[in-house]
Structure 1
Amino acid sequence: MNKISYPKEVLEKMKEIVDGCMGDAPPYCEATCPMHTDVKGYVNLIAEEKYKEAIKLIREKLFIPGSLGRICAHPCEEKCKREEAFKQAMAIAALKRFVADNYDDESDWDTSIKPENGKSIAIIGAGPAGAQAALDLRRKGYKVTIFEKLTVVGGMMRVGIPEYRLPRNIIDREYSLLEKIGVEFRLGVEVGKDISFDQLRKDFHAVVIAVGAHKGVVIPVEGHDLEGVFDAVNFLREVSLTRKFNIGKKIAVIGGGNVAIDVARSARRVGAEEVHLVCLEPKDQMPAHDWEVEEAEEEGVIVHAGFGPEKIVGKNNKVAGFEIKKCTSIFDKDGKFNPKFDEKNKKMLDVDNVIFAVGQAVDNSFVKVEALETQRGGRFIVNPVTLQTKLEDVFVAGDASGRSVIVIEAMAEGRKAAISVDRYLQGKDMTADREYEGTYETWLETEIKEETDNLPRVKTKQLDPKKRVKGFDEVDLGFTQEQAVEEASRCLKCECKLCMKECIMLNDFCECPKELFQNIIETGEVDPIIPYSCNMCIQCTIACPKDFKMSDRFMEIRKKMVKANNGKSPIKGHKAIDMHQMLGFSKLFNTARPAKK
């Protein structure tokens, strides 16, 4: 290695490449995934029919691939280039489910942990946030105990998501990894009742609060206190645990999100013959996913989009009807939620029950009010970077912090909390190098080529609507192997390594130019073979979207090396060339004829 001091202007040109090179930029899907799953990697392994390798790659980041393959809201798909160009995103979640269902062998699971470090952590809540924190901390050698009020694992993922979307055996199987590595579960134990929060702080070195939003919200419209009015959270919990709920034949559900859809579809399965879904938004603006709304309508749910509640009508203190009115606008000119209605456009729904699916809150009653700061919905106020509360040994993740909405986000918060707990107990800086946790914007810039085929998204097969409303059998049946390979083959493999495809030399020495030049800048060292391997063809510059002149940088390095070596090449093999030049210009090898007069 030759250590050389490069002139400022040479270093600045190298730094331009380091700062602008996109060779190390993650694909849009990976950067958008809160857990940074290598989507491009596993999707293309599926396309190559390397299924075992695919599930192994997924499990490097996700311990519940089968669950997420079914219920993840997949923000990654929203950033997919096929979605941008053709409105036909890759079926990323469904592909994850395919390999999880068919090739995820428990004997292949990573059950390794670091040596016990003598410190213990209490986690309140066995939902995805708490479970992820527990997994990460246990792997680092901590003794971890999860306290869960319910008698089952999964938290809101289990009692808030219907069984027809996520079979319970999938959750139990995937959560078994935690037990395999020594995480202790104390189910049916309610903090604040069976054990105090203060006692947890005394017994453990740190506490992670990861309770879900288990409190339903009911809007105080006229008649909201009638018998037969319920909230979505309690309804879904009871249905999830018992597959039963005492409701009438005609039901109204208020809300336009995915939870409202879950309530409406579950109501059909526990005996409701007629289900009305009422939401403020126009149908094409409903918060719920399009396919969720479509599947609900297939099952007979009647959608009243663009309507809001006027009053719940009662008879003998029981629900006897629900009057709704047309919504003309939802937000005011300042963008604040302030719905307006057409008082002349109303209609009455003949229903026996009304279920509110308009929001959820956190039950924080197990903590003294003065101990931790809280905000709207009972959520705890935390440091946004570390998730630490004003009690330095207490951290919060998931719904309890108000910073996550979907399962994959809750898991990312669990991981963030685990990192903070580990650093806190080791006395390390809890804020350093945390800018790429959770979802972030990639610095990748790619364009869809004109010749790119608009290949249609492969759809999974589903259970017939007439059959599925009769019970809680899984609706989505997933991909066949043929479908999975076809769908995976649509991936555009988003990356910027065009120069690497043109240059054999670069592939010999780096993953991308940024890596190579960054190392030179930081160390001042470079093996002479590297700059002398460049044949100055400039194909890398031609391919580079930013036209970086890498051959010029290599030539500058060569010149600097020659100068530092007293005008000689630093390559040992070049001594033969020096000898050839010396002899080639000597009198011994040259003849001269006198000029004619």
Structure 2
Amino acid sequence: MVKEKVLDLANHISNKKRGSKNEIKATDPEYMILEPVVSEEMAEVVLCMEIRKKVTAKDVAPLCGKSVERTTELLLELADAGVCFVNEIDGVDTFWYETWVPGIMEMMVNNKENVKKYPQIPRAFEAYGRVRGPKTAGSFPVGVGLMRVIPIEHAIEGETRRASYEEVSKYLNDNDIFSVADCSCRTAREAMGEGCGHLKEDMCIQMGHAAEYYIRTKRGKQITREEAFEIIKRAEENGLMHQIPNLDGSGKTHAICNCCGCSCLALRTASMFINADMVRSNYVSKVDKEKCVACGECVQNCPVNALQLGQKLCSKTPVTTEIKRIDTPRDTEWGPDKWNPDYRTNRKDVVDTGTSPCKTNCPAHIAVQGYVKLASQGRYREALELIKQENPFPAVCGRICPRKCETDCTRGDIDDPVAIDEIKKFIAEQDLNTDHRYVPKCKHEYGKKIAVVGAGPSGLSCAYYLAIDGYKVTVFEKEKVLGGMLTLGIPSFRLEKDVINAEIGILKELGVEFKTGVEVGRDISLNELRDQGFKAFYIAIGACMGRNLGIEGENVENVITGIDFMRDVNLDKELKLEGNVIVIGGGNVAIDVARTATRIGNTQVKMYCLESREQMPALPEEIEEALSENIEINNSWGPKRVIVENGRATGVEFKKCISVFDKSGRFNPSYDENNTIIVKADTVLISIGQGMNWGGLLSDSKIELNRNNTIKADPFTLQTGEPDVFAGGDALTGPKFAIDAIALGKEGAISIHRYVQPGQSLIIGRDRKEYHALDKENIELQGYDSTPRQSVGHVDGSKSRKTFKDLRETFTEDQIKRETERCLSCGATVVDEFLCVGCGQCTTKCKFDAISLVRKYDGEGVAYEDLKPVVIKQILKRKVKITTKKVKKLFK
């Protein structure tokens, strides 16, 4: 049943008349937010008040026909609910009400008890801007919106035209009483199950009369000015931006909100309705393309997706070097056809014409161009920090990475690709020195317990990013050593154990706990870990089981899978091979197995694989290293049977492989059965792939497996059939490279953070990292230098085959200088100046002084009492512009 007096009140606050064309109805958000907590009697009191007019209970009592005592009780109830402010002025409680937004709705959402009890309160708050927002399009001049972005102060320090009302410090220094409360927008989104994972606790600052009210009604806690400045700093570090309620007049406000673009209901007007003038500051971002290196930090942190990655190189035909909007609400009729309703899930990282191939091709989308530039300037620690935004293990990857970034490097179209991996390896060397290593600081103290199962690259990556977020992470590893296949599957001559341990050491400094020799599913179950208080799990056990061939004779003692062989070697088990060793397989692991076999006895190692030399999946440089160590590689042969005598393999019969893939590109080898050879063998090492050994890990769970025995999980969120279990690495994808596993580890950490925080969505406001490269066929590549690619000294195979030490050298500092100068610097950030709201968050993330805020407008805030004529004037101006534009089109 409709509360008629409450509906009257909703119209009264909105300055509408019941029965009029624009009246507030019982289905509108203005009524819906009041209905659960405002009684008819409470409504009668406020109906006797006027917006922003301060009154006492003694003033209102005769107007509403109630006693002063009863009126006082009702006004205090209204203040507690959030409908009215209350301050003690001259020793007397004084009350008044504000606009819906910013005002009543935020205050009502900051009553946490009511929000929990009545979900329609946050839903109504969200609905208000969505329902009323479209009518504001083009109607407010710059600087006059209900909320206003205030730039991050040091982003405008060099701007001579800045005014004091654009400085956060001015508002904090103008006040003496402060409080802090949770962000009301993120609270509402969270209550609706649409949270975005951004920090909401103790983020919005109230000042003056608002602080007094928040402290009194226990919506917020009192803080000092110094603490307020610390909150501002923390907000900026967490990628948040500043806004103020903008109806107190120029240079005045009662709050500073620290907002994110994916949950803020004011910023929605810019992103969803493409109506940035409603909230913008006087500034826009400008990119100095010469300095920009397309690292993408500004793009990822822009709250309104006004920045995207594009290209810097000249093109044969024009491409997008800046985003220009043909239509804006300033001079165009604006409706749903112009909106972006999916703005929280369809953010773009890259303009349609593409960006740097190196960042695009890297599975973790590391800012390659950025760290190469920092290295060229000798800023190695900053380069390391930039790499670790996406990859916690640069020293490891600098030794074993497949170099996908180099494969498509534009420089390779001139001569040779930039030696990106060698540059990264040089940068990462300082991470191995405890005096210079980069250890990130924890951002929060969430404290919840998270379990990671598997201490390989994906599990370690997930643990690293969760630890930075302040979670208590425990990694369970069934082996006695950490590192997973990094430690057990890769030989020391490619990746020495002290390198792995040094980078794992940083996780220990971050507080990650490791439990080795514990197999989850055997020694302890997921349910038992839940009982111990673990709130979520990341499963990354790796493809740690070797695969057999399925042929006659392979089940004998001296036929071993390459995975088992490498594990035994890396665990320092006493192994000694003699005589003829056959390695079956042509991938990187097979190469590692073959090269290891040459080092542990008097052996002659021969490799046999289905693929031709050109088709071999092993990297070309690894093939060359194997050949240099006198390993014989025999291509286009498939195993037919293992020859067994007296219970031991004595040879392998191979048949000629004619083709590996069928016409549709599927793996489907065909053979010439009449063309066979028999090769003598004292040991056979099978390295044709890896599989999963789940043990009892998934017992009594709803988690399902795919046909290839990998785990079923959402490809974006990594969530499995058990909502609190996420999976990544080889367990999800099957055997891939370490960098692929590392990238998934970070995504797993993001999902787990959102999952364990109440009301968060796993997808809203999340970077999908959909990158695509520029068209190299359209690039002008004349006139570049001919500096040759730097290289490390060649490793003598006759020496390397005798040791497990990594004999590969690292670039010198002089080589780093020469090699980094070869980078063509393909990419640059592109700005949509209309969509940019001038918050300055981008400038805080740029390490190259390549992006700045430039004052473009001169708008000032207007007090609520003076707002109506300003808006009417703007509406009339806009109508003239729309008409003029239409007339011009007619005569074109």
What is the TM-score with the length of structure 1 in the denominator?
0.80
Structure 1 residue matching 2:810: 3-state secondary structure: coil
Q: Which residue of 1 aligns with 2:27?
A: none
Q: Of 196, 209, 227, which residue of structure 1 is paired with 2:557?
A: 227
Write the deviation string for residues 145-201 of structure 1: whole angstroms up to 9, x where unpaired: 111111111111111111000110011111111111111101111212222232123
Structure 1 residue matching 2:568: 3-state secondary structure: helix
Amino acid at match of 1:27: S
Q: Of 853, 856, 864, which residue of structure 2 is paired with 1:530?
A: 856
More divergent stretch after superposition (187-196 vs 304-313): 187-196
Q: Which residue of 1 aligns with 2:261?
A: none
Distance 2:552 2:513 in 1: 47
- Compared with structure 1, are the counterparts of its residues 370 and 441 closer, same or farther at alpha carbon in structure 2 (3 Å cutoff)? farther
Offset at 1:529?
A: 6.3
Q: Given that residues 330 and 878 in structure 2 are in contact (C-alpha distance below 8 angstroms), is that contact kept between their aligned partners in structure 1? A: no
Distance 1:472 1:172 in 2: 17
Q: Given that residues 456 and 486 in structure 2 are in contact (C-alpha distance below 8 angstroms), is that contact kept between their aligned partners in structure 1? A: yes
Q: Which residue of 2 aligns with 1:388?
A: 719
Q: Which residue of 1 aligns with 2:680?
A: 350
- Compared with structure 1, are the counterparts of its residues 384 and 56 closer, same or farther at alpha carbon in structure 2 (3 Å cutoff)? closer
Q: Which residue of 2 aligns with 1:8?
A: 332
Q: Of 130, 134, 155, which residue of structure 1 is paired with 2:484?
A: 155
Distance 2:855 2:764 in 1: 37
Amino acid at match of 1:263: V
Q: Which residue of 1 aligns with 2:359?
A: 30
Q: Which residue of 2 aligns with 1:165?
A: 494
Alignment of 1:406-417 (within 5 A): 406-417=737-748
Q: Which residue of 2 aligns with 1:484?
A: 816
More divergent stretch after superposition (365-374 vs 314-323): 365-374
- Compared with structure 1, are the counterparts of its residues 115 and 6 closer, same or farther at alpha carbon in structure 2 (3 Å cutoff)? closer
Amino acid at match of 2:465: D
Distance 1:223 1:183 in 2: 46
Offset at 1:441?
A: 1.9
Structure 2 residue matching 1:146: 3-state secondary structure: strand
Q: Which residue of 2 aligns with 1:429?
A: 761
Distance 2:724 2:855 in 1: 53
Q: Given that residues 126 and 146 in structure 1 are in contact (C-alpha distance below 8 angstroms), is that contact kept between their aligned partners in structure 2? A: yes
Offset at 1:435?
A: 5.3
Q: Which residue of 2 aligns with 1:297?
A: 627
- Compared with structure 1, are the counterparts of its residues 93 and 565 closer, same or farther at alpha carbon in structure 2 (3 Å cutoff)? same
Offset at 1:26?
A: 4.9
Offset at 1:249?
A: 1.7
Offset at 1:245?
A: 2.4
Matched, 1:517 2:834: yes
Q: Given that residues 245 and 270 in structure 1 are in contact (C-alpha distance below 8 angstroms), is that contact kept between their aligned partners in structure 2? A: yes
**Aligned alpha-carbon RMSD (Å):** 3.2
Matched, 1:211 2:557: no
Q: Which residue of 1 aligns with 2:127?
A: none
Q: Give the number of aligned pairs.
A: 517
Q: Which residue of 1 aligns with 2:506?
A: 177
Distance 1:9 1:197 in 2: 57
Distance 1:425 1:21 in 2: 31
Consecutive unaligned residues of structure 2, counting only runs of 5 or more, are 1-141, 145-276, 278-328, 341-346, 840-852, 859-873, 882-892
More divergent stretch after superposition (447-456 vs 421-430): 447-456
Distance 1:326 1:171 in 2: 41
- Compared with structure 1, are the counterparts of its residues 335 and 60 closer, same or farther at alpha carbon in structure 2 (3 Å cutoff)? closer
Q: Given that residues 444 and 495 in structure 1 are in contact (C-alpha distance below 8 angstroms), is that contact kept between their aligned partners in structure 2? A: no
Offset at 1:414?
A: 0.9
Q: Which residue of 2 aligns with 1:449?
A: 781
Q: Given that residues 424 and 430 in structure 1 are in contact (C-alpha distance below 8 angstroms), is that contact kept between their aligned partners in structure 2? A: yes
Q: Which residue of 2 aligns with 1:198?
A: 527
Distance 2:352 2:771 in 1: 17
- Compared with structure 1, are the counterparts of its residues 273 and 105 closer, same or farther at alpha carbon in structure 2 (3 Å cutoff)? closer
- Compared with structure 1, are the counterparts of its residues 521 and 109 closer, same or farther at alpha carbon in structure 2 (3 Å cutoff)? closer
- Compared with structure 1, are the counterparts of its residues 562 and 7 closer, same or farther at alpha carbon in structure 2 (3 Å cutoff)? closer
Q: Of 463, 484, 491, which residue of structure 1 is paired with 2:795?
A: 463
Q: Which residue of 2 aligns with 1:494?
A: 826
Q: Given that residues 462 and 475 in structure 1 are in contact (C-alpha distance below 8 angstroms), is that contact kept between their aligned partners in structure 2? A: no
Amino acid at match of 2:750: I
Structure 1 residue matching 2:422: 3-state secondary structure: helix
Amino acid at match of 1:40: Q
Amino acid at match of 2:485: M
Q: Given that residues 391 and 743 in structure 2 are in contact (C-alpha distance below 8 angstroms), is that contact kept between their aligned partners in structure 1? A: no
Write the deviation string for residues 333-380 of structure 1: whole angstroms up to 9, x where unpaired: 333322111223222212111111111111111234562201234321
Distance 1:432 1:221 in 2: 50
Write the deviation string for residues 197-254 of structure 1: whole angstroms up to 9, x where unpaired: 3212322111111101111001111211122101011011111121742433211111
Write the deviation string for residues 12-48 of structure 1: whole angstroms up to 9, x where unpaired: 9999xx9999599652212322323211111122223
More divergent stretch after superposition (445-454 vs 145-154): 445-454
More divergent stretch after superposition (233-242 vs 371-380): 371-380
Amino acid at match of 2:332: K
Q: Of 250, 259, 278, which residue of structure 1 is paired with 2:580?
A: 250
Offset at 1:115?
A: 4.2
- Compared with structure 1, are the counterparts of its residues 2 and 563 closer, same or farther at alpha carbon in structure 2 (3 Å cutoff)? farther
Consecutive unaligned residues of structure 1, counting only runs of 5 or more, are 497-510, 533-559, 568-597
More divergent stretch after superposition (387-396 vs 104-113): 104-113
Offset at 1:68?
A: 0.9
Q: Given that residues 398 and 422 in structure 2 are in contact (C-alpha distance below 8 angstroms), is that contact kept between their aligned partners in structure 1? A: yes
Alignment of 1:349-388 (within 5 A): 349-368=679-698, 371=701, 372-388=703-719
Offset at 1:274?
A: 0.8
Write the deviation string for residues 69-117 of structure 1: whole angstroms up to 9, x where unpaired: 111112211221123x146222111111112215765455234224432
Amino acid at match of 2:856: I
Structure 2 residue matching 1:189: 3-state secondary structure: coil
Q: Of 262, 265, 272, which residue of structure 1 is paired with 2:595?
A: 265
Identity across matched positions, percent: 36
Distance 2:668 2:578 in 1: 32
Is the helix fraction higher in 1 or 2? 1
Q: Given that residues 461 and 479 in structure 1 are in contact (C-alpha distance below 8 angstroms), is that contact kept between their aligned partners in structure 2? A: no
Q: Which has the larger radius of gyration?
A: 2
